[in-house]
Structure 1
Amino acid sequence: MKNIITTHQLVFTLFAVVISCLSPVYATSNNDAVSGIDQKIEQVLTEQQLDGIVWAMVESDRNVTGAQGVSDAQSQKAMTELHKMYVGSVTKAVLAVGVLRLITEQKLSLDTRVSEMLPSLEINNPWSKTHPITVRHLLTHTSGLDDIRLHQLLTTQTDPDMPLELAFRDSSTLDVRNQPGRRFSYSNMGFTLLGMVIEKVAAERYEDYLLDQVLKPLKMHHSSFHFVDEHDPMLAIGHYENQVRQTPVSTVLRPAGQFVTTAPDMAKFLRFLLTEEHDTKSNFIAPQLLSLMSTPQETESTKHGLKIGQGLILSGRDRHDAMGACRPGSAYGYNAYLCIFPEHNKAYFWAVNTDNESANLDKLNQLFIEQLDLEPAELVEPEALPVQNPEIEGVYVLAPNKMVHFALPDLMFHSVYLSQNGGQLTVQSLQAKDRVLLPLGDGIYRDITRRTPSHVIYEARGEQYLTDGFKTYSKISIVKFTFYWVSLSVGLLSFVYLLLIGLYKLIRLKTSQNRALVLPVINFIAFAVPIYLLSQQHYLQLGDKTLASLSLFVCSALLPLSVLTAAVLLIRQRTFKDSKYHVFALLMFLQWYCVMFYWDFMPIALWKI
C-alpha cells in the first residue's frame, strides 16, 4: 500500500514546524558554529556509508541542532532537524528519568524489590533471600538477568499494544545468572521490567505516564514512547547497508528501546541533565538522585578501585581524551549516541538512520568531542616500578556472557588471553586488536589509549577476574579451555570424515558394506531443508516458530539418535575391525554434540533461545 498523507498529518507537520521555531533553542543550524562542522559531518556520512543524521550540541549559553543526508534513500528527501528518529537504547536514559521521578515523589525507592512489585512474574533468583533484585539493580544493569533472548529480539509476533508481561512467557527467561549487585551485565529485559514497574505504580501504560510526567514537562513535544510507523511524514526511515530500507518494527521489549525523538527535543533533554538549577527549583528529580546519574554503584569493580561504570541514567566513558557520561543506542535501521560532560557544561547527541555493520560510528563521537573543544581528562601516569605477577596471566572468559544459550560460543570465541611483560599487560582476543594496559597500582590499569583508569584485576571467592566496569572476565583453567577447543576440533574433523565416507556409502549403497553410515549422512544432508527455508524467510522471523525453525529443531534433535544408531550397528557387525575408525569418528562427533547439549546449545530451538 502507498503511504497516503492525510490532511491532519499535514496540519500536524506544519504545527510541529511552528512550535519548533518558537521553542527555546539558543541557536539553530543556520549559525557559524554549525556551518563549521557541516562539511566534516558530510565527509563522515560519505566515508561510513550513512544515509542521514540529526544532531544536537549543548553548551553553557546555547543549543545547536542540525541535520545532513537523506531521511529516505528511496525518495531522496533531505533530512531535517525536525525529522524523528528511533534511538534504540538511548530510550533507557529517558525512561530512567521517569523512574527517578517516581522515586522523587516517594512512590517508589531504589531499594524497592521487583518481585514484590511484580508478583505474577517468576523470577528465578537463587540469591533472593539475601540479594533480591531491586529497582537500583535494574537501572544499573546489575540484576544478573540475561540481556535478551533471540525470540524477543527477532520476531514478527509483536503488537505495539501487547501487555509487557507477554515478553516473559517462557519461565526460564528470568533466570538470574549472577548475584544481583555484583557485576554490570547489560539487560534489555531489566528495562522492560522497569516499564512494568512504572505501570504498576502509575496504574497506566508506561508510554502515557512518561508522556505526561517527563516529555511534556521537558517540552519534548515531538518525542514519543508509543510506536510510530512509516505513515508519519516526519519519521526518517531506517536503512541497512546499500540503502536497504527497514520500516519501523515494534519490539517485544519495547521499554528498553522504543522511543522516537528529534534533535531539538534531545537538546532540551541534554540541557535538563546538565542544569542543576532546574532540578532544585522544580524538584522534578531529587538532586541526590541526579548526583548518581553516572556514578557506578557498589559492584565488585568499584569496591576494588575502578570508578567507571553504569550510574542510574548514564555510564561513565573515557573517549577521545574526554571523560563523559554517555548512552549508545541502536534499533532496526538506526544508531544513536548521547554524551554529556557536566564539568564543562557541554553535551552532544546524534542519530543516524543507517545500521551499517562496517561503519565506524565512533568517528562521529570524535568529531563532536573535537567540536565541543573539551579539555582533556587528567592523564594518570603508570607506576614507576611495576610489579610482575604471574598469577594473573592466562585465559579469561566472560562472566557472565550476555545470553545464556550462547555461553559456549562466547567461551571459545570471545575469551581473552592476558600476558604480562614487566608489569604491563596485553589483552589478546580473536575479535579485536590487542589492548595494552599500563599498571597504576593496587590491581588497577589504564588502557594505553585512555587517560583514566580503565581496568581492574581482582580476586573474589578464590577466582581471578578482569573487568573494565562493563565486561567482566573470570580466569579459566587452561586445561578446561583446551578441552573445549579439542572437543570442537575433533567434532568438526569427525563431521567431515563421516560426511565424506557416508556420501561414498550412499552412492554405492547396493555394493558397499558399513551401510550404517548412511543414517548420519542423511541426517546431515537433511539440514539443507531448514537452511533453505531460513534463507527464504525474513530475518525477523528467526525467533518465531516457523517451518524453518521447527525443521532445524527436528534435524538437530535426531543427530545423536542417528549417530548412536550407526555406531551400535557397526559395533555389532562381524567386520567391526574394518569399521573401527568409523565408530571412533561417530563417538567423537557424539561427544561434541554432548558438550553442546550440556551448554544448552543443542538441539537448536530458535524460539526458546
Structure 2
Amino acid sequence: MIKLVILILLLFLSNISAAQDNETLDGKLKKAVTNENLTGAVWSTISDDIVTTGAIGLKNADTKEILEKNDRVLIGSVTKTLIATGILRLVSQGKLDIESPVYKILPNITFDNPWREDNPVTIRDLLNHTSGIEDSRFWQIFSTKSTSSTPLEYIFSKDPSVLKVRTLPGTRFSYSNMGYSFLGLIIEKTTQEPYETYLDKNLLVPLGMKNSTFQFTTQKGEHIDQHLAMGHFENGTTQENIPMFLRPAGQFTTTAKDMAQFAKFLMSEGTINGKLFIDKALLNQMGNPTSTESYKNGLKSGYQFGLSYRDRYGVVGKFHRGNTIGYRATFYLFPEQKKGFFISYNSDSETANYEKFNTIFINHLGINKPKKLKIKDSLPSNIKDFHGYYKMNPFRFEMFAYLDLLFNSIKVEQENNKLIVQSIQNETNSLLPIGSNLFRKEDRVKPSHVFYKNGSVPIISDGLVTYEKVNITYLALMWLSLILGLTGIFFILFRGFYLLFKKKLFKNKQIITFPFLSILGLLIPFPFLLNQSFLNLGDVTFANVLLAIVTGFLPIAMILGSKKIRRNRILTIDTVGILFVLQWTIILIYWSVIPFRLWA
C-alpha cells in the first residue's frame, strides 16, 4: 500500500514537472515568435514515445484567426524526407533497385552525362543530391503557369538543357529540387499511379499520418482546406498556396502531430504492427552519406536518403529544413536518444533568426552534448599544397555560376596552428586540425571539413559544398573584367549626360551615343518588374521580355560604338570606356548572363 502511494505521488510530481517544462517551452517559443516578428508556428517534440504538440500566433493575419495545434501547414523541402521514405519503401518491397540507372526506368529522359557509360545517374544519386544536375530554374519555381496536375515529365521536356550532368554522378553533393522531382516521376512509372495518390495510400496511411497529404491543397478555390494555415511574408502580407512545377520536391500538407508520428517511425526498427515496412539498414543510412568523395576521404557529414548529418549547437543529429512561398519548416532527429522536434512557421521572413528556435528545442529536450574532438598540435605536412583560392564545383544554380565564382570563391591560408577560410559573402571561419586531413570549425564537435586531392587538384569539402583550387590569375582576371566593366558603365553615363547637356550627344560622329542609350535602357524594365508579382519571375511576361531585350542590346550597342571608333580612326577617352564595357559583356555572354532571360 505504501509503495502504491509513493508511485502515485511520483507520477503526480512528474506530471507537474512535465507541465511546467511544457509551459516553459511554450513561453520561450511565443517570445521568440514575437521577437522575430513571425505570424505563427505549429510544433511538436518527441522524447522516447512521448509526443507534445503546440501552436503559437495567428493562422491568418488578415482575419486574426488563432492558429491551433491541429491546423495543417506546408513544410517545403522537408517533403524530400517523405519522398525518400516512399522510395525506400518501394526498395524494401523489391519494386525498385536503389542502384538502378534512371534511364532504365525513364527511357524517354536522356541526361547529358559524359560519364554515362561507366557512371549513369542512379536512384541513389537522386536521393543523395549527387546526380550532378543543377537545382532548378526560375521558371520551375517562380511561375503561375503550373497546375496541380501538370505532368512531371514537362519539367524536363520543356528545356532539355536542365538535364546536363556537371560532375561525376555519385561523387559530389549539389542540392537539386529537380532530382527529387525525378523521384516523384520514378514512383509514378513504377506504380502506374500519380505519386501523390500512391504515397497517400501506401505510405501515409500505414504510418498513421491521417491528417497529411501529398495532394495539392490551398486556402481558397477548388482544392480548399479550411484547416490549412495561411502563408505570410515579412510585412504580414498573406499568400495562399499555389501549384508548383517541382511539386515532389516541396508539396506536402501536414500537422505537427503527424510529423511527430513520422519522426518516431524513422527512429524505429522499420516495422509497423510487427511487420517489416522499411528495411532497418536503409533507415539507418538516412543522414549518413557513404558514397561521396568527401566520405571516402574520411568526412562523415553530408546528406543521404532525405536527411542531412548536422553538427550544430554542440549536438549532432539528422536534419532537414524547408521553405516554400509563405512558410518555413525544420525537422530534427536524434535517433540514438529517441528524441526530435518539428516546427513549421506560416511566415517566410528574410530577416528572422530561425536558428534561435532550434536552440530552444535542443535545450528543452536535453540533447546530449558530446565533447569536442581534441585539436592536434600541428597541421598536416602537405598543408601548403592547400593554401590559395578555391571556387565552388559544382555550382548549385547554373544561372548564378558567374556570381558564385566572384562572390562565393574562398581563400585558404594558414595562421599559426589553424587554417583561415575567407570569402566575400560569408563570414571568416577558422578550421582546426583534428588528425590526418580532417578539420573542424571552432563551434563544431566533430570533423566539419576534409582536404584531399582529385588527381592533382586540391579539394576542400564540408560534405555539402565542394571547392576546387583555382588559379589566382584566372580569378584576378575575372575580377578585373568586372571592375573595368563597371568603371566603363559609370564613365559612359557621366560622359553621356555631359554631352547631352552640351547638346553634342547626337552629333553624327559621336561614338558614345548608342552605348549611353543602351545603359540608360537598362532602367526601363524596373518599373514593370516592381509592379509584377515575384511569383511571375520565371514566366514570359512583358517585364521579363523587356529585361531580356535591354540586356541583350547592351553588347550590340558597344559593338556599334566600336564600329564608329574604327570609322573615325580617332582614339579618345570615350573609346576606353566603350572597350571596358564591351569586354565585360563578352564575359557575361560566355557565362549566359545576358541576355538576361528569367524564363530560360
Structure 1 consecutive aligned stretches of length 4 or more whose deviation exceeds 6 Å: none
Partners of 1:207 and 1:311 lie apart in 2 by: 22
Q: Which has the higher mean CA deviation after the structures are superposed, 187-196 or 408-417?
A: 408-417
Residue range with higher mean Cα deviation, 244-253 or 378-387: 378-387
Structure-1 residue corresponding to 2:301: 308
Say whether the 8 Å CA contact 1:57–1:63 is kept in structure 2: yes
Correspondence list, 1:199-598, <5 A: 199-231=188-220, 232-276=225-269, 278=271, 281-387=274-380, 389-507=383-501, 508-509=503-504, 514-573=509-568, 576-577=569-570, 579-598=571-590
CA distance in 1, matches of 2:101, 2:445: 38
Gaps of 5+ in 1: 1-26
Q: Structure 1 511/309 Cα, relative in aligned 2: closer, same or farther at 3 Å?
A: closer
Q: CA deviation at 1:101?
A: 0.7
Report the 3-state secondary structure (helix = DSSP H, G, I; strand = E; otherwise coil) of the residue aligned with 2:155: helix
The structural deviation recorded for 1:120 is: 1.4
1:59 touches 1:347 (CA, 8 Å); kept in 2? yes
Residue 604 in 1 paired to residue 599 in 2?
Answer: no
**Alpha-carbon displacement from aligned partner over 1:281-300 (angstroms, at most 9, x marks no partner):** 32110122112122102111
Farther off after superposition, 130-139 or 377-386: 377-386
1:433 Cα deviation (Å)? 1.9
Which residue identity does 1:596 align to in structure 2? L
Aligned to 2:555, the other structure's residue is in SS state helix
Residue 373 of structure 1 and its aligned partner are, at CA, apart by 0.2
Contact 1:195 1:255 (C-alpha < 8 Å) held by counterparts: yes
The question of 1:80 aligning with 2:68 is answered: yes
Q: Paired residue for 1:163, among 147, 151, 174? A: 151
Report how far residue 506 of structure 1 moved.
3.6
Distance 1:262 1:479 in 2: 53
* Partner secondary structure for residue 173 of structure 1: helix
SS in 2 for 1:291: helix
- How far did 1:353 drift? 0.6
Q: Deviations over 1:25-84 (max 9, x none)?
A: xx99x9443212111001111111111111111111311111111111111111111111
CA-CA distance at 1:190 after TM superposition: 0.1
Equivalents in 2 of 1:386, 1:550: separation in Å? 54
Assess if the C-alpha contact under 8 Å between 1:519 and 1:563 holds in 2.
Answer: yes
- Following the alignment from structure 1 to structure 2, what is the Cα–Cα distance between the partners of residues 179 and 510? 54
Contact kept, 8 Å, 1:279 with 1:286, in 2: the verdict is no
Equivalents in 2 of 1:313, 1:478: separation in Å? 37
1:123 aligns with 2:118: no
Q: Distance in 1 between matches of 2:227 and 2:529?
A: 34
Q: Deviations over 1:398-453 (max 9, x none)?
A: 11111112111000011111121123011112222211110012110011001111
* Length-normalised TM-score, structure 2: 0.94
Superposition map of 1:25-64 within 5 A: 31-64=19-52
Q: Is the counterpart of residue 182 in structure 1 residue 171 in structure 2?
A: yes
Query: Deviations for 1:262-294, whole angstroms, at most 9, x for unmatched residues?
Result: 011111101111121636932110122112122
Do 1:54 and 1:65's aligned partners in 2 also have CA atoms closer than 8 Å?
Answer: yes
Q: Which moved more, 1:143-152 or 1:500-509?
A: 500-509
Once the 2 structures are TM-superposed, how far is the Cα of residue 513 of structure 1 from its aligned partner?
A: 6.9
**Deviation, structure 1 residue 589:** 0.7
- 1:343 maps to a residue whose letter is E
* Structure-2 separation of matches of 1:141 and 1:390: 31
Q: 2 CA distance for matches of 1:538 and 1:248? A: 14
Q: Matched residues in 2 for 1:593 and 1:385: separation? A: 47
Shift of 1:98: 0.6
Maintained 8 Å contact 1:297/1:310 = no
**AA in 2 matched with 1:582:** D
- The alignment partner of 1:217 has SS state of helix
Residues 446-494 of structure 1: per-residue CA shift (max 9 Å, x gap)? 1100111110111112211111100111111111111011000000000
Give the CA deviation at 1:510. 7.5
Residues 371 and 364 of structure 1: CA distance in aligned 2, closer, same or farther (over 3 Å): same
Give the AA of the match of 2:232: H
Identify the range of structure 1 (120-129 vs 388-397) with the bigger mean alpha-carbon deviation. 388-397
Cα distance change of structure 1 residues 110 and 378 upon mapping to structure 2, 3 Å threshold: farther
**2:506–2:513 CA contact under 8 A, matched in 1:** no
Q: Which amino acid aligns with 2:577?
A: A
| Distance (Å, rounded) in 1 between the aligned partners of 2:376 and 2:240 | 53
Q: Is the 8 A contact 1:327 1:338 kept in 2?
A: yes
* Alignment partner, residue 95 of structure 2: 107
Q: Would the alpha carbon gap of residues 274 and 503 (structure 1) be closer, same or farther in structure 2, given more than 3 Å must change?
A: same
Q: Give the direction of change, closer, same or farther, for the CA distance of 1:214–1:521 in structure 2 (3 Å limit).
A: same
Instruction: State the distance in 2 between where 1:438 and 1:331 align.
Output: 36
Alignment-mate amino acid for residue 174 of structure 1: L
Q: For each residue in 1:514-552, what CA deviation from the matched residue of structure 2 results, as whole angstroms up to 9, or x when unmatched? A: 423111111122222222211111111111111111111
Check 1:81–1:280 CA distance in 2 against 1; reply closer, same or farther (3 A cut).
closer
What is aligned with 2:6?
none
Q: Which residue of 1 aligns with 2:186?
A: 197
Instruction: Compute the RMSD of aligned alpha carbons.
Output: 1.8
Q: Distance in 1 between matches of 2:509 and 2:357?
A: 62
Q: After alignment, is 250-259 or 520-529 more displaced?
A: 520-529
Q: Does the 8 Å contact 2:270/2:283 carry over to 1?
A: no
Paired residues in the alignment total 579
Q: Structure 1 CA distance, aligned partners of 2:544 and 2:505?
A: 34
Q: Quick one: distance in 1 between partners of 2:98 and 2:506?
A: 74
On the 8 A contact 2:378/2:433 being kept in 1, the answer is no
Shift of residue 563, structure 1, vs aligned partner = 0.9
Give 3-state SS (helix, strand or coil) of 1:595's partner: helix
- Once residues 65 and 132 of structure 2 are traced to their aligned partners in structure 1, the CA distance between those partners, rounded to angstroms, is 44
Q: Which amino acid aligns with 1:347?
A: G
In structure 1, how many angstroms separate the alpha carbons of the residues matched to 2:184 and 2:500?
A: 57
Distance 2:213 2:20 in 1: 31
The alpha-carbon distance between structure 1 residues 530 and 277, as it changes in their structure 2 partners (threshold 3 A), is closer
Q: 2:5 — aligned with what?
A: none
Q: Is the 8 A contact 2:372 2:446 kept in 1?
A: yes
Paired letter, 1:581: I
Tell me how far apart the structure 1 counterparts of residues 267 and 593 of structure 2 sit (CA, whole Å): 46
Measured in 2, the distance between the counterparts of 1:549 and 1:277 equals: 49
More moved, 417-426 vs 143-152 = 417-426
Q: Aligned equivalents of 1:253 and 1:378: distance in 2?
A: 41
Q: Percent identity?
A: 36
- The verdict on how the C-alpha distance between 1:111 and 1:510 changes in structure 2, with shifts beyond 3 A counting, is closer
Partner Cα distance (1:512, 1:313) in 2: 64
Structure 1 residue 606 displacement after superposition? 1.1
Is the 2:511–2:574 contact (alpha carbons within 8 Å) kept by the matching residues of 1?
A: no
